[in-house]
Amino acid sequence: MLLSKKSLETRINSGEILRKSRNIPLDMSSINLSGSSCDLTVGRIFQPENAKTILNQFQVFHNYKIDDVALEKHRIKPGEMALIEVKEYFAMPRDMGGILFPPNKLAKEGLLMTNPGHVDPGYRGLVTVCLVNMGRQEVHIAVDQVITTLLLVGVDEPTDGYAGSEGKGVHKTQLQSLDVDFAGLKSRLPGLITEYISHRVGAALALVGLVFASYALILPELGQYRIESKKEEEIAQELIEPLREAMITDYSKASENIQAQLDSLKKVLLKVCENSKTTECKELSNP
């Protein structure tokens, strides 16, 4: 059963569910409670690529910590992602669990939350969410902005509690595993294009090769014709000329097939590149 607004207020005021930090209660005036849910806000923002560059390359000369690469505001470009550490500290009781989901406003702006899920009874610590901009425009996010909504659900009996350790929020391992763009398409796209072309055009090129192989197999027959003292004009008329016409016809069909495959490929790639600003996609879009 979902907890009501009144029940949420009572439990939060008693130091359960959400806190400002591990040892500091949450000020009720700082959160937005509705009929059966609670809005959570942005605590820290991380842009994976920039954060990895600083932590990996520059910490040799400077003792950079993860706090040093956190942002207070950021614009997520189309196709790119950002890692968000939720500001509120979880102090879940053992008799209820939580469900996180993105607010409708984010979805309307084209933002997708890739890892919404549940919060186990007894969990304590911070949580993180990953946002991907699937829209056409940049989306601005900032500290203290509403980023996710929490629903609280009671369990039929108290549990043993969360078995894991306290959630510390965003850590270096998370940043190392993420790329600046969704699915790493920025670095993978050139290889995908090459693979697609090889697969589609390969069959048509094989057909052309088969035509020439057939021609090579016919050559011994041509020699046999000469042995039989056929006139050169007869050989050309009866053997070479039909073969030449067949090759021209097959090659023409193969060329049309290749062009059709390339046209189809271009349509697919233009769709893939619709929201991308990579150099390859810009060149593909030029007539």
Q: Which of 274, 263, 35, 236 is nearest to 151 (CA)?
A: 35
Tens digit of pLDDT at every position of the chain (287 positions): 788 888 999 999 999 999 999 888 888 877 888 888 899 999 999 887 765 555 555 454 455 577 778 899 999 999 888 889 999 999 999 999 999 988 888 888 888 888 767 899 999 999 999 899 998 899 999 999 999 999 999 888 888 888 888 998 887 777 776 666 555 545 544 554 455 555 555 555 555 555 555 555 554 554 554 444 455 556 555 655 666 666 666 656 666 777 777 677 667 666 666 666 666 566 656 65
Amino acid at residue number 242: P
Rounded to an integer, what distance in angstroms lies between the CA atom of residue 78 and that of residue 62?
A: 32
Rounded to an integer, what distance in angstroms lies between the CA atom of residue 11 and that of residue 91?
A: 10
Rounded to an integer, what distance in angstroms lies between the CA atom of residue 270 and that of residue 285?
A: 7
CATH topology of domain 5-180: Deoxyuridine 5'-Triphosphate Nucleotidohydrolase; Chain A (2.70.40)
Q: Which of 166, 165, 150, 127 is nearest to 11 (CA)?
A: 150
Rounded to an integer, what distance in angstroms lies between the CA atom of residue 62 and that of residue 48?
A: 19
As a residue count, the chain comes to 287
Cβ proximity of 60 and 33 under 8 Å? no
